[in-house]
Structure 1
């Protein structure tokens, strides 16, 4: 779904089995089976988005050590790049399997594109040299960013009739679009006179979503009901926290015990995924945020996995999660996490993460900025 929350026409099939915190008992938490997405022949791969059919897009190094956009479906990864020597990236996918991303030419210029079957369509620019696409909905509307003729960058909404709409800014020089939902709402970040803020553009203008107290925030994804996830600095601009913006309020998701966290994806049930530092250091672990609680996904994939999931990029309406992980040898891969029928035990209460999701739950459901880190996503 890409949290590229476009289409989501699948209805949620599940209902939540309510559970209550019993101080003396272990609780059941969601358990996931893990599928390795592999690479296109190189040493590493990355993930960006997933649709409701479980198709995943991202980019991978090929055997020539060149980044290539890919589509992974049913356990098979295929390159979307026009040839082995062309650098390309995929960042969004809709439920029809059409992906959105970027292709770079030999002179270093880039173009926002869509990948549809074997066809690659360039979306152009706003008069400048470069553009890149980040999200696509079921209507074929695309979000992204493009250079203007004066060299500044603007978030855009690309329409199926070929129009690329400049979405402006919040008073500063430019903006960057990161996702689009089924209604055509675009989110991203926009410059102010000082700093930058997360924005939402509903087609009538750009709305400043504010921050968690600092001078910087960035929206990453939006679902079909308009809930937005992203990251924001706290007061003093010394730490960053993941947020969900909903009903006019930016809610701090906190962390897995560390200082910083970042949220990258959201589904139509309001579940969010991302990355958080854990207690005792700067190590990053992928998280699932559901029903008011943040869970370390590394604790939900079972022992013997052998990889550390350092960020989760997206979650679809069936609860499938696409995440990125690395092993002790430094190899990195994308992974697809799918809910198991069973559950795993969580230790006795003692941390907020133990107010878990209940046992039969089918779930409640290239450029990141100057100071706001987009860990592992470049």
Structure 2
């Protein structure tokens, strides 16, 4: 029993020391990409490429992993922007149509990009998708203005309404199906809402706070802007944790991780319950990072940066287990092996 307790205490020891910076290894996945990308829990990266084709510049959405690349295609135009992907490889965004004068929301799945249309206006865009295939986005409507929508393969596109006014806007969709957005009241005031199961709830007005998204457990995260100070502070609601003070604008959140920019918009930053670190503090190489835009539950990060050879583009950062973790694991396994040998020895003695 004493040995078992010692092993448990030994295994718990690294937790107390987790305030030290984690270590990461950066890998350039693609040059010529734009800033802005997402990463799912399988480690697949969605990014947007800026490329010169047929005498003109185009944008294209691309899936990347180390050693592989998949172009998502187009709805006929030359400007395609991917916004988010889920763990099943479904991606959403917008693409111009042939002629380039209008753009429609798309859903990409099983190798096919599908036009999901609009709600009466010319343009639309899909901004979020969860693992159940629930898509959130925004569309122009007939007569002017725009509305937030939800889309499923079975039910198509549908207007989620407003708070009594003319317009609404979807920001994000969580894994539980909660929708975060903004909508106008009858007086024309824009207010934050949460939408679930057909009901839009007025979540109030949060002054200078701009909400950016929903976390994996329906956390709401955003930034409070201080115009007179020229800075932003992280705001996070419905959360069991928050990183130490210093995060400015958050861009993405996973289980135990949040990424964004430091206060004063100065440095791409990773936050955990144990600390806050700039990407150049945690990278084992010689990189300069301009943005971190995605994080998954394994702690993998995706952003935009340049290495010492001045090659710039979409960068995947993989966490490196601490040497102490290996040492503690090895010591713990050794103690357990010793305990098993002693147990066997005791059993042989008793049976003799």
Answer yes or no: same fold by TM over 0.5.
yes
Q: Is the 8 A contact 2:244 2:273 kept in 1?
A: no
Q: Is the 8 A contact 2:262 2:269 kept in 1?
A: yes
Partner of 2:193: 199
Q: Which runs of 5+ in 2 are unaligned?
A: 1-10, 329-352
Q: Distance in 2 between matches of 1:174 and 1:284?
A: 34
What is the Cα deviation at residue 126 of structure 1?
1.4
- The structure that is helix-richer by fraction is 2
**Secondary structure in structure 2 of the residue aligned to 1:18:** helix
Cα distance change on mapping 1:16 and 1:222 into 2, 3 Å:
farther
Indicate whether 1:286 and 2:268 are aligned.
Answer: yes
Q: Which runs of 5+ in 1 are unaligned?
A: 1-13, 22-26, 345-358, 361-378
Q: Is the 8 A contact 2:33 2:47 kept in 1?
A: no
Q: Distance in 2 between matches of 1:210 and 1:329?
A: 49
Picking from 264, 268, 271, the partner of 2:251 is: 264
Cα distance change on mapping 1:145 and 1:303 into 2, 3 Å:
same
What does the per-residue CA deviation read over 1:308-332, in whole Å, with 9 as the maximum and x for residues that have no partner?
x232212111111111235799975
Matches within 5 A, 1:139-288: 139-170=132-163, 172-191=165-184, 196-210=190-204, 214-223=207-216, 225-234=217-226, 239-246=231-238, 254-255=245-246, 261-267=248-254, 269-277=255-263, 284-288=266-270
What value does the CA root-mean-square deviation take over the aligned residues?
Answer: 3.5
What does the per-residue CA deviation read over 1:137-163, in whole Å, with 9 as the maximum and x for residues that have no partner?
222110111111132122221122133
Partner of 2:21: 29
Cα distance change on mapping 1:83 and 1:145 into 2, 3 Å:
closer
Q: Is the 8 A contact 2:38 2:294 kept in 1?
A: yes
Picking from 59, 74, 86, the partner of 2:66 is: 74
**Secondary structure in structure 1 of the residue aligned to 2:280:** helix
Partner of 1:114: 107
What does the per-residue CA deviation read over 1:274-327, in whole Å, with 9 as the maximum and x for residues that have no partner?
1124xxxx563111111063221221002422x2x2322121111111112357
How many residue pairs match? The answer is 312
Cα distance change on mapping 1:216 and 1:108 into 2, 3 Å:
farther
Partner of 1:92: 84
Partner of 1:354: none
Picking from 280, 291, 294, the partner of 1:314 is: 294
Partner of 1:370: none
If you compute each CA radius of gyration, which structure gives the higher value, 1 or 2?
Answer: 2
Picking from 55, 58, 62, the partner of 2:44 is: 55
Partner of 1:372: none
Q: Distance in 2 between matches of 1:185 and 1:328?
A: 43
**Secondary structure in structure 2 of the residue aligned to 1:29:** coil
What is the Cα deviation at residue 171 of structure 1?
5.2
Indicate whether 1:136 and 2:129 are aligned.
Answer: yes
What does the per-residue CA deviation read over 1:76-122, in whole Å, with 9 as the maximum and x for residues that have no partner?
22221238962101111111111111111224211111112331111
Q: Distance in 2 between matches of 1:319 and 1:291?
A: 13
Cα distance change on mapping 1:232 and 1:254 into 2, 3 Å:
same
Which of 157-166 and 85-94 deviates more?
Answer: 157-166
Indicate whether 1:125 and 2:115 are aligned.
Answer: no
Structure scoring higher RCO (CA < 8 A, sep ≥ 6) equals 1
Q: Is the 8 A contact 1:189 1:217 kept in 2?
A: no
What is the Cα deviation at residue 47 of structure 1?
3.2
What is the Cα deviation at residue 217 of structure 1?
1.9
What does the per-residue CA deviation read over 1:154-195, in whole Å, with 9 as the maximum and x for residues that have no partner?
222112213323223345542322322222112233446577
What does the per-residue CA deviation read over 1:234-279, in whole Å, with 9 as the maximum and x for residues that have no partner?
58796432322216x99797436xxxx2111111x242111124xx
Q: Is the 8 A contact 1:214 1:234 kept in 2?
A: no
